[in-house]
Amino acid sequence: MSSNKLTTSAGAPVADDNNSVSAGERGSLTFDNFRVFEKLAHFNRERIPERVVHARGTGAYGTFRLNKDLVDYTIADFLQKAGTDTQVFVRFSTVGGGQDSSDYARDPRGFALKFYTNEGNFDLVGNNTPVFFLNDPAKFPDFIHSQKKNPRTNLPDPAASFEYWANHPQSLHQMTILMSDRGIPLSYRHMHGFGSHTLSFWNSKGERFWVKWHLKTQQGIKNVRSEDAANYPAFGAQQDLVESIDAGDFPKWTVQLQILSEAQAKTLSVNPFDLTKVWPHDEAPVQDIGMLELNRNVDNYFAETEQAAFAPSNLVPGIGASPDKMLQGRLFAYQDAHRYRVGANVNNIPVNAPKCPVHHYQRDGAFAGMCPVSGKVPNQGSEVNFYPNDRINRGAPAPVPSVAEPPMPLEHNAWVKPYSQDEEDYHSQAGALFRLMNDDQKQQLVDNIAGGLSTANSTIQVRMLEQFKKADPDYAEMVVVALADIEEKNNVSARVQ
């Protein structure tokens, strides 16, 4: 016999959980089936809205160990002394598909880390690619719409994707990565991670530095070819991560930074705040600063992985944002998405809760009760709920001026208006990436592009070929050949039929 009593959600013992109360053996149910009603009502509400992007994900806990003092660059407490361990929660994900999609879709992979530091949570929200398709948040909803299913047929629509990319050359670099051999990672353990955005550090002297985060897998890069992807189970990447951690085969990543002073950033050969570009390593060398290890699976997928909420605005003293326009938009959009999807007090949920004391003047809303992890007083208790107030000397929360970020000057004669970035060079880095590939990688790239581009009309094809040619003439020529091969195969098939 079990030592635990079955109860209702209010704690009352349940005598029978397998049979409804009815008026006779074959009669109708009665209205006093309140225990059944509770089960059914809760069941109807078991799902929260899935994420619009990054819906399909897998999470695990682990440790970040710092192996290099960064006191000269930042006051962030977890980056001061080599040997410091910080607990983390990491969520991997595909981006475009829903929860019912495959782990082996050709898609970027989300790579988000929540560092539970002594001064609050720092969220590093990135992907398995160092760049992104866009550098302005105004374009983001339209971009995602173009990657989703056709609004009429509800079927995948690669022509729509290429129509969008044909109108946005800034996507060429990321699209080249997506269509390359790295477009379908074998597992979440066998891919790199990148913070992608430019963030800032500042030290105790008030000096600011611009930084980019890199996480390099110690398991080695492994990918799946397009023609093999259908042979893998839809849940394969999630299964791989869970089983490897359960078996004690803990995945690890080397954590690296690129760091530039404000003066160095002004002479960088690319815009340091353009998310479509990488910082050249000869101008901003990569340096090892630590190691990430994942060593504990979640106990409950929904409570932890599904309700985990990451946001670029979760910053800690010593780490700040930058003029990266996509980052600026996400500082608002991510937290707004979580408040809509999970609730106003999303950070009261244990997986999101800081491990340090929390004191603020926010009140009420869903999940306003005590968080068992942080030990928050329910709904911040009975004390004053506004600021400024006259209770500071009695322990009411007060700002901490010493953690203020140093001021950042605006550009000289900065006029407030929309600024187009269409004239930026979006081809050179895509071409450089193409030339780094071996022959097999190049062939995979152009075959993957041609498969989708062949479904688009000739106008879109011409505009895309112009982009490829600007990146590298061989890039364009190989796509032309791949498109011709597809057309020939379609003609042969038509004649056979």
Per-residue pLDDT reduced to its tens digit, 136-157:
999 999 999 999 999 999 999 9
- Check whether 66 has a pLDDT greater than 80: yes
1-46 and 57-355 have identical folds: no
Q: What is the predicted pLDDT for the residue at 381? A: 81
- Name the band, by pLDDT with cuts 50, 70 and 90, for residue 192: very high
Q: What is the pLDDT of residues 95-115, one digit of tens each?
A: 999 998 999 999 999 999 999
Q: What is the predicted pLDDT for the residue at 252? A: 98
Domain 1-46 class, CATH top level: few secondary structures
Q: What is the predicted pLDDT for the residue at 416? A: 86
The 8-class DSSP code of residue 450 comes to H
Nearest alpha carbon to residue 66 among 300, 245, 289? 289
The rounded distance, in Å, linking the Cα atoms of 277 and 176 is 12
Q: What are the helix (H) ranges across 45-196?
A: 140-147, 158-167, 172-178
The DSSP-derived string for 261-289 is EHHHHHT-SS-TT-TT-PPPTTTS-EEEE
Q: What is the predicted pLDDT for the residue at 55? A: 94
Q: What is the pLDDT of residues 223-240, one digit of tens each?
A: 999 999 999 999 999 999
Q: What is the pLDDT of residues 343-395, one digit of tens each?
A: 999 999 999 999 998 888 888 888 787 665 556 678 888 888 888 989 988 88
- Name the band, by pLDDT with cuts 50, 70 and 90, for residue 490: confident
Q: What is the predicted pLDDT for the residue at 395? A: 87
**389 burial type by CB count under 10 A (0-12 exposed, 13-18 middle, 19+ buried):** middle
The rounded distance, in Å, linking the Cα atoms of 78 and 293 is 16
R_g of the chain computed on alpha carbons: 26
- Name the band, by pLDDT with cuts 50, 70 and 90, for residue 75: very high
Q: What is the predicted pLDDT for the residue at 203? A: 97
214 is catalytic: no
Q: What is the predicted pLDDT for the residue at 352? A: 95
Q: Which residue has the higher pLDDT, 131 or 416?
A: 131
Q: What is the predicted pLDDT for the residue at 373? A: 57
* Helix-helix angle 158-167:140-147, to 10 degrees: 150
Would you tell me which CATH number, out of the four given (2.40.180.10, 1.10.3470.10, 3.40.47.10, 2.40.50.100), belongs to the domain 57-355? 2.40.180.10
Q: What is the predicted pLDDT for the residue at 301? A: 97
pTM equals 0.94
300 is catalytic: no
Q: What is the predicted pLDDT for the residue at 413? A: 84
- pLDDT exceeding 70 applies to what percent of the chain? 98
Average pLDDT, the chain: 94
Mean pLDDT of all residues in 325-335: 95
The rounded distance, in Å, linking the Cα atoms of 90 and 126 is 11
- pLDDT exceeding 90 applies to what percent of the chain? 81
**Do 113 and 88 form a contact (C-beta atoms < 8 A)?**
yes
- Check whether 133 has a pLDDT greater than 90: yes
**Do 112 and 51 form a contact (C-beta atoms < 8 A)?**
no
Q: What is the predicted pLDDT for the residue at 362? A: 86
- Check whether 396 has a pLDDT greater than 90: no
Q: Which residues contact 106 (CB under 8 A, 6 or more apart)?
A: 178, 179, 183, 184, 226, 229, 448
Q: Please report, for the chain, the start and end positions of each structural domain, with discontinuous segments joined by +.
A: 1-46, 57-355, 428-491
Other beta carbons within 10 Å of 65: 16
The rounded distance, in Å, linking the Cα atoms of 278 and 127 is 14
Distances (CA, A) of 471 to 132, 402, 427, 431: 17, 48, 5, 4
Three-class SS state of 190:
helix
- Name the band, by pLDDT with cuts 50, 70 and 90, for residue 406: very high
Q: What is the pLDDT of residues 462-488, one digit of tens each?
A: 999 999 999 999 999 999 999 999 988
Enumerate the β-bridge partners of residue 31: none
**Residue of 4, 67, 127, 393 with catalytic role:** 127
Q: What is the predicted pLDDT for the residue at 375? A: 62
**Residue of 54, 173, 338, 427 with catalytic role:** 54
